[in-house]
Chain A
Amino acid sequence: MGSIVDLNGRASYVHWHFFLMSVPNLVVVALMLIVFALALYLRAPGARRPKDDK
Chain B
Amino acid sequence: MARRTLTAAAPVSEPELKAFARVAGRLLLAQAPRGAGTQALRRRRGAGLTPVDHRDYLPGDDLRWVDWRQSARLGRPIVRRFQVETSADWLLCVDASASMLAGHLWHRAREISTALAFALLDGGNRVALRLYAERVTGLCPFGRGPAHFARVARLLATHEPPQHGADSVLGACVAGISGRPSLFVISDFLMAEDPTGDLGRLAEVCGQAYALQLRSSRQHRLAERGPLSLVDVESGRRIAVQSGLTVERSAVAAAEALTARLRQFCAARKIAFGTADAAVAWQHILLNHLRQKVA
The answer to whether A and B belong to the same complex is no
Q: What residues of chain B have their CB less than 8 Å away from a CB belonging to chain A?
A: none
